[in-house]
Amino acid sequence: MNFETFEPVYEAILADFGFERAADERARDAAAAIATPFALDRLGDWRGETVAIAGAAPRLSDEVDIARDADVVVAASTAADALRDRGVAVDCMVTDLDKNPDTAAALTREGVPVAAHAHGDNLPAVREWLPRFADGATLATTQAAPVGPVRNLGGFTDGDRAAFLADHVGAGRLVFPGWNFEDPDVGPMKARKLDWAARLLRWLERRRDERFGILDGRREGLDAALDPILRGRDSMV
C-alpha cells in the first residue's frame, strides 16, 4: 500500500469524522522530528507466514491459542499486555499511544518493534512518549502523507493498521483473534471507528484475494460503503 492508493480512502475518513488533515500533519511532523528511519526488514521475514493480528476486544482471552499457534503475532494496543500475560510473545505492537504507551516503550527497549502512530488527536502523546522509545525498534507512522522517517502503510485504527503492515511485508495468511466489530461496551465514536476498520479490512481482503473469517456476514454492506470511494479513486488514476 502506498499513500497515493490510500489517499482517497483517507479523505473519506476525514470527511466522515470531521477530522482536519492539518492536525494529522502537525502530529506527523512532530513524530518526524523525533523518529529515526526504520527499515522494515527489522521486523523479520514474515513472507508466507501465518500472522495473527490480535485485537484488544475481551474475547481475546478465549482466542489466545489462535495467536499462540501463529508464526508471527502483531498486537494492537492493549492486546500486547493481554497476550504477554498469557505467555504469548509479541513480535510487533501497533499503537497510537492512547492506552498503554509504557508497554510500547518497554517493548522497544526489549528490541520488539513498535509501530507508533501520530494523528491529530495525539500530538501531546507523540511528544511525550516517542523520545522514550528505543530508536532502533520504533516505526513511526501517519495516516497523512509520509514524511522523512514517518511511514504510511495504510489503515486507520490500530488493528487494521496492523493488518496493512503485515500485508506490506508479505504475510502469507492473516488471522484475527480478539476482534469484535459489535462490542456493546464501546462508545459511539469507537463504534464508528470499528465500522471503518471493517471496511478497510474488506478492502485489504479484496486486494489480497483472501477471506477473513471476522468479515463473514458483513461483506455486502462493506462493499456498498467501499465501492463508491474506490470507484472515485480509480477514476483519478
pLDDT in tens, 79-120: 999 999 999 999 999 999 999 999 999 999 999 999 999 999
**Strand ranges in 7-161 using DSSP code E only, listed in sequence order:** 50-54, 72-76, 92-95, 114-118, 138-142
* Nearest partner of 153 among 26, 17, 43, judged by Cα: 43
202 has pLDDT over 90: yes
Percent of the chain with pLDDT over 70: 97
Q: What is the pLDDT of residue 185?
A: 87
pLDDT at 3 over 80: yes
pTM of the full structure: 0.95
Q: What is the C-alpha separation between 114 and 163, in angstroms, rounded? A: 14
Q: Where are the domains of the chain?
A: 3-236
Return the beta strands (E) in 77-197 as ranges: 92-95, 114-118, 138-142, 173-175
The per-residue pLDDT for range 159-184, each reduced to its tens digit, is: 999 999 999 999 999 999 999 999 88
- 233 and 207 Cβ atoms separated by less than 8 Å: no
**Residue 200, pLDDT score:** 98
